[in-house]
Every structure is written in C-alpha cells, then in structure tokens.
Chains A and B, each alone.
Chain A
C-alpha cells in the first residue's frame, strides 16, 4: 500500500483541528481537485486518521496511504476518483 513514489498534487495541513472540521477541510480540498489527482493530508488528531480514510472511501475516493510519520502526526494520500 505504501508508495513513496507518489507525489501529491495538493497538500493541506490540518494539524490542530478536530472532528468534524478535519473532514470538512479534507472534503473541501478534495472537491477542488480534478478526478485522478492526489491530495496529501497532514493531521495530528488520532481519530481523524481513521475517520477521514473511512469517509473518503464512503464518498468513492481511494485511500493510497495512511502513515504515522512521527509521535503526533499522520500523513494521508487520497486519490480523487469522482466528483
């Protein structure tokens, strides 16, 4: 699943935010992307590291990466599959 070669097309840093604003920001960022593009999300709210991937999949997008990058942060890569 981990593919270090993927270069995201857009990136958002939502560290400091909690649910549901983590997903609000992530969803708005995905909406602004074209289909096929990849969004990188940096976050530090543990619950969102699980809920954002699940919600993105529910909305038809593909989760490429969920990676705990250090003590506090996660890095997600989401590919937009549909509007």
Chain B
C-alpha cells in the first residue's frame, strides 16, 4: 500500500520520526484496537488513536450521551445528547480522520459475547467505569492472549497498566477479586476532575501506539499512578503471580463467569 498525498501530509509528523517512519505508519493503519467504553477514557483514547491513523477502532458502550457527560467526555457534544455514545464517538472520529473504520457496538459486554467481539482485534483498551466489566475484560483478554491497556480514574487520581498475557501480570495479579459492592465509590458518587481522563486516556493511547510500533517500554508488570493534586507520577511494581487465579500456573478461572453478581444492575 502506498500513501496518498493526503496521507503524507496527515501523517508527516509520524513519518519523519525514526521510531515510526512509513513502515510504522502502515502498521498503525493496519492495526485493530478495541475500546471498552465510550466515556471519559474511551473518548480521548479513541480521539488520539483515530488521529494517529489506527485503521480499525471498535468500541462498545450501552449508554446514551447525557449532559453530565460533557464535563469530561470530549468526543460527545450537545448535538448528540440522547444518542448512543458509540454513535456519537464514531461521528466525531470519522470527522477527524476518514481513514479510520469505527465499529460501533451499542450493547453490553457479557460473558456470552465478549470473546467473539474481541477475537478479531489486536489490542484492547479498558475504559470501563465498573468492576464487573473490568474483571470480565481482564479475564477475556487473558484467555484470548490479547494485550490489554487498563485505565481507571477517580477524583484527582488515575491509574494505567499494560497487561501482556503470558509475559507479564494481569489485573487479578494486582487485585485478585473485585472489591465488595459499595466499598469503592464510583465516579458517579465521588466525582472526577474533568481533565483527568484526558491525562489517563492519553497515557493509554500512548501505550497502544508503542505496542503497535514495537518501540519503547510499556507498563508491563507495572502500575502507573498519577495524582493531579500533587502533580506526581508513581510507578509500582506488579509481579506476575504464579498463583493468579486466571493467568497463574494452575488457574481456577478457566471460563468466564457471572461478573455482575452482587453488583447493582447496570443502567
């Protein structure tokens, strides 16, 4: 595939970098990335991956855009309030870069559909806002051996980690079980600084691009914690656990389970 003149201009700042070049840009155009959630994290992740020319971006979310989303979910707008978030995101990304094929799925991810949905993608990004989904996505990615970039945000703090099944830790090596329902406040209850998902989503998108390009280090066996009030980044080591219930030597979780048990039903 040769670049069009338009693509030479669009991607010129990538092509001139030694770590990217024309070859790297072609890898980006051929890549398929799936984003779980079209909310605070999904918006900036999708925005930057589309701008970078990631050729196929899948996204799943069952919610519609609400006015209260617009404080941080930058791909939506007043004109898409009431419409499915995935359609709103798809329209925004299509306007930014027509090279990108956005696959919009307005549905819930479940233990029954996730393996089939993720199987055609190279890399998965988790921008979900609840624990059942976070563990469902982790376990599915471990079983499918798909790299997973996991991000989380609350108030002034955010986290990012990169899970490479078979090579490094997984989310259950870090936190074996979801916390009991109600123990950890959701961002609906506790709030989140509007810009925070931009920082964390930007870091997640950066991890994705490095994985596609095969350049640099990623947050394998590490959790990066950002505190906006203290302006601090901290890296915590997260070893892969031999006794991890899903990615360990003798896993006890060998098929997807009911992740919603005990949690309130999704809206």
Chain B residues whose CB sits within 8 angstroms of the CB of A28 once the complex forms: 3, 8, 15, 21-22
Q: How far is the CA of A55 from the CA of B16 in the complex (A)?
A: 9
Q: Identify the interface centre among B3, B13, B15, B23: most chain A CB within 10 Å of its CB.
A: B15
Report B129 CB to chain A, min CB distance, Å: 40
Contact residues of A: prevailing secondary structure:
helix
Q: Identify the interface centre among B16, B18, B22, B23: most chain A CB within 10 Å of its CB.
A: B16
Which of the residues B9, B16, B23 comes within 8 Å of A23, measured between beta carbons? B16
Q: How large is the interface on B (under 10, 10 to 19, 20 to 34, 35 or more residues)?
A: 10 to 19
Q: How far is the CA of A55 from the CA of B3 in the complex (A)?
A: 21
A10-41 interface code vs B (CB 8 A; 1 in, 0 out): 00000000001101110110010000000000
Question: Is B21 in contact with A27, judged by CB distance below 8 angstroms?
Answer: yes
Which of the residues B9, B13, B16 comes within 8 Å of A27, measured between beta carbons? B16
Report B8 CB to chain A, min CB distance, Å: 6
B3-36 interface code vs A (CB 8 A; 1 in, 0 out): 1000011001101101001110000000000000
Task: Give the tally of cross-chain contacts (CB within 8 A).
Answer: 28
Of chain A, the residue at the smallest CB distance from B15 is A24
Report B26 CB to chain A, min CB distance, Å: 10
Interface flag for A59 (CB, 8 Å): yes
Tell me how many residues of A have a C-beta within 8 Å of chain B.
Answer: 12
Known contacts A27-B21, A31-B22: does B13 contact A20 (CB below 8 Å)? Answer: yes
Q: How far is the CA of A60 from the CA of B21 in the complex (A)?
A: 14
Chain A residues whose CB sits within 8 angstroms of the CB of B8 once the complex forms: 21, 24-25, 28
Chain A residues whose CB sits within 8 angstroms of the CB of B15 once the complex forms: 24, 27-28
Q: How far is the CA of A61 from the CA of B23 in the complex (A)?
A: 17
B52-79 interface code vs A (CB 8 A; 1 in, 0 out): 0000000000000000000000000000
Report A51 CB to chain B, min CB distance, Å: 10
Interface flag for A71 (CB, 8 Å): no
Interface flag for A58 (CB, 8 Å): yes
Known contacts A21-B8, A21-B9, A24-B8: does B16 contact A31 (CB below 8 Å)? Answer: no
Binding site for A on B (CB under 8 A): 3, 8-9, 12-13, 15-16, 18, 21-23
- 12 A/B residue pairs, CB under 8 Å, sorted by A: A20-B12, A20-B16, A21-B9, A23-B16, A24-B8, A24-B16, A25-B8, A27-B15, A27-B22, A31-B22, A31-B23, A60-B18
